Chains A and B, each alone.
Chain A
Amino acid sequence: MRTFLAFIKKEFKHIFRDKRTLLILFGMPIIQVLLFGFAITTEIKDGKMAILDLAKNRMSQQYISKITSSGYFILKENLKNYSEIEKSFKRGSIKIALVIPEKFAENLGNTNSSVVQVIADASDPNMATMLTSYLSGITNSFAIEKRLVPEVPIKIESKMLYNPENKSVFMFVPGVMTIILMLVSAMMTSITVAREKEIGTMEILLVSPLKPAIIIIGKVLPYLVLSLINAFTILMLGFLVFGMPMEGSRILLFLEILLFIVTSLSLGILISTIAQSQQTAMMMSLMGLMLPTILLSGFIFPIESMPRILQILSNVIPAKWFIIIIKSIMLKGVGIRVVWKETLILAGTSLLFILMTIKKFKIRME
């Protein structure tokens, strides 16, 4: 026990003496949550717009004011002819242009339709799609309002279940937590073990009476504590700043977080048995873990819209399952009866990593 305490004490000293890493460790989660929460929203407001109004009648004026008062668009330019449209796009001063034809809404009685043209800057495809669909929504409601068309017989009344205000931060808090836990647990552990190899102290530890298991637990435990602190910070930010709900059991949430930390830690240890230097360990963690985690966990890009092969690949990303678990617990308030499969997958993955580590370790010792 005394030997173990001496080891743990040393590990904490390493961590707390490295001020720069410490700052990253504790500063990064806070900054990331705030950034994702405030800066990144999937909703677009104030889309820059140009209008070429060829009708210049009462209807077109009302139509334009309906659009500009919606909050989704701001009128940047009133154009005089077609040739100006492309110039404005090229300058980058607008994202979308609307062309209202001559005799807009005047000959509706005869043909029963009027065509407006919408041109969007699809160099940013996501924004172009969204602006266009906003605009068509506004146009439809304008038409109904003015009784140009009869009430649509089928109306949709939508309810956003589990996230009534459709806040994207509810997605980002679990996502950021996953990334941070992966980073702290897997990357930091693999780096700290690789560091001992690099400076030659690993041999000393192996020659000493410390058992290999104790060395690994001693390496892992401090990062387990740090990860828990980080998870707590992120959750608190989610609750207090962004009004994240907590529908399910706190104890279950805690246990699931603990499980995911164990998965990440075992992955970190596995990396460290392969990597001989800190640099390799870092590159392996960043390229091999962080990137797939960010891209394939469904945190930013929806898995459902990925090509089939990536969808299959995403199943081996532990983060994917973890994100499903926390969202289910926090937003839907479900219990272990619903997320047992995901939990089992994470537990199985951890076990696999640990077994692989032991095997690797044995090969080296033989």
Chain B
Amino acid sequence: MNKVIEVENLTRTFGHFKAVDNISFNVEKGEIFGFLGANGAGKTTAIKMLTGILEPTSGKGKVAGFDIITERNKLKYKIGYMSQKFSLYEDLTLKENIGFYGGIYGLRKREIAERTKKMIARLQLGDIENTLIAEIPLGWKQKIAFSVATLHHPDIVFLDEPTSGVDPITRRQFWDLIYQAADEGITVFVTTHYMDEAEYCDRISMMVRGKIAAMGTLDELLHKHAAKDMDEVFLKLARQ
């Protein structure tokens, strides 16, 4: 058992509002952990705490073996992050974007060049190294953004609603990339509000109003709540 994320009683309040209310869970190495919930359920706040950019009000957590409060600086080298926005610079070329992200993670020029080549081959993008991101189609950008987020070979990659606003085919292709990353031993922590995406995850946690209302594999959740799909599980939990 190799735990990559360990969270105990994590809470974050904004004024009187409990955005994240006493959550505890573990994620194992190489797992695809689905962090589901409606908009405003506290998913993004939880991710911010796990990536070390927001301090918890109480509770503790470890990510990639580092404490999320006291060892933020070391932690940051071990994680990758991709937000629902594209997080690539439109006015820079693909190569320049990769160069920049590689650079801020302290990669050497040679390493960056090597990984760029590999990445382009894997994504079958052809000759677009020197194309501005603005001129690259949306679906490709998404995949590129994911590859860039894992460029520095992190232990864990956090994906915050990576597939929102993307067509089903591209979504499917995107999940293929996630599987590939998981096969290489990268743990994937993904938030989504598409309940059907839950079936792609190894394990799911369902957040409702800042609390984890349910957690387990897809089958476990369906069985426990006597539901035929995740939508039903979600509705049942939300009505409680």
Contact = CB atoms under 8 A, between A and B. Distances in A.
B77 A209 contact: yes
Contact of B81 (A14, A18, A199, A204): A204
A329 to B, nearest CB: 39
Interface in A196-239: 199-201, 203-211
Nearest to B145: A204
B51 interface: yes
Contacts of A203: 53, 81, 83, 87
Secondary structure type dominating chain A contacts: helix
A43 B236 CA distance: 81
Given A13-B92, A199-B86, A204-B81, A2 B103 contact: yes
Interface residues of B, number: 32
* Interface size class, chain A: 20 to 34
Contact of B100 (A9, A199, A211, A366): A9
A14 B100 CA distance: 12
Given A13-B92, A199-B90, A200-B85, A207 B103 contact: no
B104 A7 contact: yes
A3 B104 contact: yes
Interface of B: 51-55, 73, 76-77, 79, 81-92, 96, 99-106, 108, 158
A210 to B, nearest CB: 5
Instruction: Name which of B54, B103, B104 has the most chain A CB atoms within 10 A of its CB.
Output: B104
Given A3-B103, A14-B89, A17-B92, 18 more contacts: A3-B104, A5-B103, A6-B103, A7-B104, A10-B92, A14-B92, A17-B91, A200-B85, A200-B86, A201-B87, A201-B89, A205-B104, A207-B51, A207-B53, A209-B76, A209-B106, A211-B73, A365-B55
A9 B73 CA distance: 23
Contacts of A5: 103
Contacts of B108: 2
A7 B103 contact: yes
Given A2-B106, A3-B104, A209-B73, A10 B53 contact: no
